[in-house]
Amino acid sequence: MFTSVAFIIITFFVYIFLPELRNLHGKCLMCYLISLAIGFSLMGWLLIKEIGSINHVLCLLVGYFMYFTFQVAFFWLNVICFDLWWNFRRTGGFIISERKRFMFYNIYAWGGSLLLTLLILLLDKTSMPEGFKPGVGNSCFLELGLPIFLYFYLPLFILCTLNIGFFTMAAIKIRQHQIEIRKVVSKDESRKHRKKLQKDKDNVTLFLRLFIVMGGGWIMEAISFVVDSKNPYFFLFDIWNASSGILIFICMVLKCRVLRLMKKNLLDTTESFNDQSQRLKTLSRTVPQ
């Protein structure tokens, strides 16, 4: 899990280093990555500590904050899928600028996660039956059993179902574009449409892989929890989930386009540094001693 965090941080800094990647999708992905890295770091720290040795106040802070960061990650994944669908369905009559969309996405992702966190905080303070209480103070996270299913896996299932719906609608839209292209008479116009269609297909394929990597592990972990959490074969899904940072790095960084951009930016940075050094040397020679 800590290795996964390291690869998440590397991916995050690649996106900071390359301005070409910081479009709306890139910014949403960066928000997802930073929240996932914090969540994994806290969970990894918790797994190597003895719960009894952790101060009660610290235990509560870690539990609620870890819950918040994971929910933020799930909400940002939902935003990425929604924005992919939005780009397919939007028309010239109703366009929202990327800046405003990113602002709305932030309100939705951070605000929704905050509301869920406040909900479990309030439920922990109520006199409801113990089996329904989140019980964060007992294990520094949600209690196993009904609480973790209701307050962690159920919201995850709902968001992932929406994500699948967005992908399905995007795929249907691509199919409609293919049918429209066949009706185009002009070869130049057809070539133009085909080029756009291929770009749309590439985007859907990329984010489908991303969704499988980022959401698939959590879905299978939830299924294993409901079916039989002690089944040794479900341990493979735990490994998959904990390794998601490595898989994200492979999907998002180890691509020809990104590697070319990194090479170009490194060369430009090196040339700029060399030019600056040469100017300083020239200036130092002209200044009287």
List the domain boundaries for the chain: 2-255
pLDDT recorded at residue 213: 72
What global pTM score does this model have?
0.85
**pLDDT digit string (tens) for 135-171?**
898 889 998 888 998 999 899 889 988 988 888 887 7
Mean pLDDT within 263-272: 82
Is 220's pLDDT higher than 90?
Answer: no
Residue 278 confidence class, pLDDT cut points 50, 70, 90:
confident
pLDDT recorded at residue 42: 94
| Residues above pLDDT 90, as percent of the chain | 33
Is 121's pLDDT higher than 60?
Answer: yes
Nearest C-alpha neighbor of 47 from the set 131, 134, 139, 160: 139
Q: Residue for token digits 């929604």?
A: 82
pLDDT recorded at residue 283: 66
289 or 105, which is more confident: 105
91 or 85, which is more confident: 85
115 or 190, which is more confident: 115
pLDDT recorded at residue 138: 86
Is 187's pLDDT higher than 80?
Answer: no
pLDDT recorded at residue 34: 95
Is 185's pLDDT higher than 90?
Answer: no
Amino acid at 269: T
Is 24's pLDDT higher than 70?
Answer: yes
Separation CA 83–CA 111 (nearest Å):
18
Residue 203 confidence class, pLDDT cut points 50, 70, 90:
low
Tell me the range of 195-209, 249-263, 272-286 where mean pLDDT is highest: 249-263
With helix as H, strand as E and coil as C, how does the chain read? Answer: CHHHHHHHHHHHHHHHHCHHHCCHHHHHHHHHHHHHHHHHHHHHHHHCCCHHHCCHHHHHHHHHHHHHHHHHHHHHHHHHHHHHHHHHHCECCECCCHHHHHHHHHHHHHHHHHHHHHHHHHHHHCCCCHHHCCCHHHHCCCCCCHHHHHHHHHHHHHHHHHHHHHHHHHHHHHHHHHHHHHCCCCHHHHHHHHHHHHHHHHHHHHHHHHHHHHHHHHHHHHHHHHHHCCCHHHHHHHHHHHCHHHHHHHHHCCCHHHHHHHHHHHHHHHHHHHHHHHHHHHHHHHCCC
CATH class held by domain 2-255: mainly alpha
**pLDDT digit string (tens) for 48-90?**
887 778 888 999 999 999 999 999 999 999 998 898 888 776 5
Q: Is 140 left (phi over 0), alpha (psi -120 to 50) or beta?
A: left
Max Cα distance, the chain (Å)? 83
pLDDT recorded at residue 279: 72
Tell me the range of 111-115, 249-253, 274-278 where mean pLDDT is highest: 111-115
Is 28's pLDDT higher than 90?
Answer: yes
Residues with Cβ within 8 Å of residue 131, at least 6 apart in sequence: 145, 146, 147
